[in-house]
Amino acid sequence: MNIGAGTADNASSYRVGTLSYTTFGLVNLFIWMLWGDFCFSMMELLIPNLLPLYLRMHEAPNWLIGLIVGSVPAAINFVVNPIISTRSDRTRTRWGRRIPYLFFATPFVTLFLILLGWSDAIGETVHSLLLPQNSWITVSKVVIGFIVVFAVGFQFFNMFVFSVFYYIFADVVPRPLMGRFMALFRMVGTCAGFIFQRYIIGHAETHMAWIFTLVALVYLISFLLMCVFVKEGEYPPPEPRKGNMIGTYFRECFSLSFYRWFFLAIACNDASTVCRTMFNLLFAKEALGMSVDQFGKIMSVNAVISFFVLIPMGILVDKFHPLRTYMAGGILIVAANVFGFFFVRDYTSFYIVSVMLALVYVIQNASKLPMFVALLPTTQYGQFSSANAMVVSIFLILANAGGGAFVDLLGYQYIYVWDFLFTGLGLFALFMLYCGWKRRGGRESYTPPLAGEGA
């Protein structure tokens, strides 16, 4: 299959599977994938940034915020992700194996986001129609109930998108360009973050419903167009399943210590950001006396800095290997959190440490998905990614609920301690993974190990 100008007989260095790209075809692919990512990233910013604020506006405690924003989605991820991922590996349609899942789920994601944004109005209407004025069930309780229902509906259908969207990169992007593509991918996400933090989040307390609605509709139109214009190649028929499907899944994914260290490293690093994701805005607002608009301006500056750092990072990831750069990022993250815990006390120090963390996290963000592609088996990429998601989900279920209680007990300042501890544990797992990678040939001759080959 040839994508872009020319014929299938033309020589091309841009190949992946049965796909062969001309330069024009590759540019077309990147444009649609990156535009889809921009809208997806904008949509993904709604929940971690606005849902904690939305719940706090209705007097929800931190433990409940952690449960709804983090633990419940992680539990859904644990159950649903392996099913979707493994089935998408084995799906064969004229549209490919990933795109049908994206196309199916996107309208439902949009619907639940819009309903979530209007939970205030829906809750107030239901309370006035069905409950007496002196009822012990307050308007805020009803609104929180609707927020929970709509958030769970959103997370369920978004799991189809969130799982499969990242798998399609390995199927359509040429491997030699993966680091640079992921740098562009992160840059686009950073642009979305800049726009959201600079121009949108400051209006959240007064225009919550319209923010959810407009972002959801832009995502709907753009993501569906991406599904139409990005083409997958042809895949060989899936191998027939032998024996018990669940037993085979766990044996293939978890029997080798190499992958267990991989999963543990990713889970620890993902759990390390839980407290900052949920409570950074509340820390700035309630502990440091900053406004939501001031917080958004700082985050937007971080996005600009990250954008320009991502330009060389894609080249460095391809040059030094994503596993090495991911480890280097972890070391710097530990150092930045030590500094943050001891020195953040006001607007200026928060600003400085936020910039530091933005810089060091760029290194891991640019390395993470290329590391997946470099280390996991291509034919079972979704399956192994879902096994990773299961381990991450277990960590996040506990970390999100535990993170809320942790902050309630010790205070917002300790979000830096939380990040330090989990990133440090992740670094140990990365070191063990690195040793296994070197034993299996390292950069020169590594091939993903399979069950039965030994640890």
Q: How far apart are CA 123 and CA 111, in angstroms?
A: 17
Q: Which structure tokens are listed for 182?
A: 């992921």
Is residue 440, in this structure, part of any structural domain at all? yes
The SS3 call for residue 14 is strand
Checking phi first, is residue 132 left (phi over 0); if not, alpha (psi -120 to 50) or beta? beta
Using an 8 Å Cβ cutoff, are 314 and 179 in contact? Answer: yes
Q: How far apart are CA 208 and CA 214, in angstroms?
A: 10
Burial letters 329-362, b for 16+ CB under 10 A, else e: bbebbbebbeebbeebeeeeebbebbebbbbbbb
Crossing angle of the two packed helices 46-57 and 274-282, in degrees rounded to 10: 50
Q: How far apart are CA 386 and CA 279, in angstroms?
A: 27
pTM: 0.69
Is residue 314, in this structure, part of any structural domain at all? yes
Q: Which structure tokens are listed for 188?
A: 């686009």
Looking up residue 40, the CATH number of its domain turns out to be 1.20.1250.20
Is residue 233, in this structure, part of any structural domain at all? no
Is residue 338, in this structure, part of any structural domain at all? yes
Residues making up the chain, counted from first to last: 455
Is residue 111, in this structure, part of any structural domain at all? yes
Q: Which structure tokens are listed for 443?
A: 């950069």
Closest listed residue to residue 63, CA positions, set 397, 400, 412, 395: 400
Is residue 235, in this structure, part of any structural domain at all? no
CA quadruple 342, 348, 350, 356: dihedral positive or negative?
negative
Crossing angle of the two packed helices 381-410 and 257-272, in degrees rounded to 10: 40
Using an 8 Å Cβ cutoff, are 329 and 367 in contact? Answer: yes
Is residue 80, in this structure, part of any structural domain at all? yes
For residue 242, the model assigns a pLDDT of 66
For residue 8, the model assigns a pLDDT of 38
Q: How far apart are CA 387 and CA 244, in angstroms?
A: 17
Is residue 453, in this structure, part of any structural domain at all? no
Residue type for 279, please?
Answer: F
- Per-residue pLDDT of the chain (455 residues), as tens digits, is 444 433 334 444 578 778 888 888 888 999 999 999 899 989 988 888 888 888 888 888 877 887 888 778 878 888 888 888 888 888 899 888 899 999 999 999 999 999 999 999 999 999 888 877 777 788 888 999 999 999 999 999 998 898 888 888 888 988 778 777 877 887 888 888 888 888 888 888 889 999 999 999 999 999 999 999 999 988 888 877 666 777 888 888 999 999 999 999 999 999 999 888 888 988 998 899 999 889 888 888 888 888 888 778 877 888 889 999 999 999 999 999 999 999 999 999 999 999 999 889 988 888 888 899 889 988 788 889 889 988 988 898 888 778 888 888 899 999 999 999 999 999 999 999 999 999 999 888 898 998 665 55
For residue 353, give its domain range: 2-228+245-445
Q: How many domains does the chain have?
A: 1
Count of Cβ atoms closer than 10 Å to residue 193 Cβ = 23
